[in-house]
Structure 1
């Protein structure tokens, strides 16, 4: 444009020159020369151009906060138009609040939640904020959400328990605390603790109880089912479980446990875990039947020591698969306890589901059990070393077995029958000084009490059988109490540590004297007394009251026709 003005200037002087000069001035003023470096020469050092306007369409200056942003780390006030909303998706009415909130800390705004590093406040918020006292800074105050969280989680746990997702269980341990297991009682406690570590002790998941027992009338509920709601409290109670000592009355303990199920929950399997060595001095069949008859229950029999009678464990559990042997079997027991219908279904093969957050993975209630769903999850079989039945060395069958023959006149016809039955018993036992020892007393009148075999005599089984077969018949009055006192003396003189004591008494029950003194002398030493009624016909010509009274319990009485069943309660080579 400047050059154009010059050309016209050459053609025309005067008026044209003045007109074009004015036009050029207007153009130059309207379009100033651009700065090639994009730097305004009039800008002071450190000058930052103002930010472009951020107000949304429909901006109204009346709705703008009248506060001045403060310096520091806190975010500037949020424009009020961000709060003005009719969205009720959260089901809460947003209201303005005029409360002043004092405190300091960072404020995080989003999804209706506020968190503060310090100060006062709680979970949910109220709509608007006024100027705080002094500083003119605003933040939200909330209430309610955090307080409800434990209740929500408790409700979810309860629902999971009802659905069976976390396999809740009720487990009662029945623990032998008698003299025969004194050396392994601490191992019983350790075993119990290992099982508990594998469970999830919570009010809505796994509950544990414990019964300690020894003799016929000594069973105690030491930990009530569900009494302890957390692992720490339960472990402390387990550490304080007492040791009773005394003879082993497992049968009575099973009956006691069957009638003490307080605290069990409906629709949850009750697991009984019997910890013993399998050598009970009473009859376990009836107690085991009562225990297995408890509705929705499973019975496990566990042994830890090296000396055990597996046949008795099978009688207790009613299922050989529920007999667990060895201190390392606690893992198998935990798997059995935690097996439930919901978990079985969860372990079934399934395809990836598009709605899964992490497709193809199943997470159980315990993190360490996590496994891929598409894999076949199965329990590894227990090593043979822990479940096979070995014949233990004979030296481990420590028994002192006494036998008393009644050779009074009332049993003349059945005397040989006594000798035959006693010989059968001796032949089945592992006779040795470091295993099972035998003492035999024969009696009739007051002066006719003879010791045929002493416990300390080193005789073989054949020697003892020969002595029995050669025993003469005495005849005379029945002085049973004298024979009992003499046998008690033999037990006392031959006392062996950890040896179990049993007595087999053959008689018809018609003693000429009271037998209370002799029986008490035997029972005070822990001797378990079995009585065998000898008669031609079953229960004919027998004094059942005396036979039951002399036996440790009425169930320790057997008729001679049931002698085969009685033999199962004495040591045998195939079990030792």
Structure 2
């Protein structure tokens, strides 16, 4: 929410720090500032209509595969910035576009300009190479108005990162907010909602408020409230507009470091989940299909891709078999079909060896930014020790759940499960009742994730 009368910033000179305007003076705005944006849909947001211009067809660039992100810049178009600094801002965006190497298999880049209201200047799907993005940036005219960053963040959350606008789904969503001085509305709530929906938010503040100017802020410490609290990774203060160019390389390095883009992570898209499935003779073919349906029901709740949640599965008897590894199936439909195709093995029950096997074949290949979760499903007592393997895998940072059916041994279920047992260990008398625990398991995974200090 913005204050009714936020204190604006002066624009007397492009190189000087802004001070509160003298309200006794009459300020003449450029004529274009009073043109009404026509929006037939009444959403309060606009996509700027640009006249089509004839241009030679461009080759589609593949881009940098090591920087596959959907990247949106929120550029400051408020009157406080002035024409000269607005031009510096456009030069900065053009240089970023050149450095990141825009392309369909790498980063895609878009631009939103904000003032009183946000407007899409370049959608993610507009251009597929750096040259075209740079050309489009050069044509952007200053919008004017206040500096309503919170409103712009709400816009990208609800409108910008959509499939229709070019959002690819498998690529992390990244929003970089450029702010001249400070916002004229509140940003904390809008930022939190955007982060929770999977958007990584960076703030680049240019000529931020000094101690004397902080009394003019609508929201004190607005950057700290807006970004993920990770030791300054998501915030980049720049002392002067004329030093902005120096921020290009450091910023590109950060937005392309997908393993550190943790603020977009939720309990549904941040995991490596290994199912360790009992295929012993006591299970039987019919019950084994019920177990696979249980596995599919849990999997269905997660966002599946190589950058989101990945799922692997091990079936065991006396021996162990890797059914599929992390990242082998990066689309949910393919993964669910793979689960359905798992064939029943039959044999003895060596749960301890299966846990060790899962650690070696699956968790050794986990990504550093993934939460490691193991779900062991068994219907009987193991012929080998489960305590030592379970303790070893938990020491590797794996969160272990145990699901026991029928003749499963309660003491072994507790040994396998991460403490507290009541949150990680479950028992049912019959296979047909497994489905009842799906919501509880998902709830516990999310509750545990959300309790961690992250953003």
Given the two structures, how large is their TM-score scaled by the length of structure 2?
Answer: 0.37
The higher-RCO structure (CA 8 Å, 6+ apart) is 2
Please identify the structure whose Cα radius of gyration is greater: 1
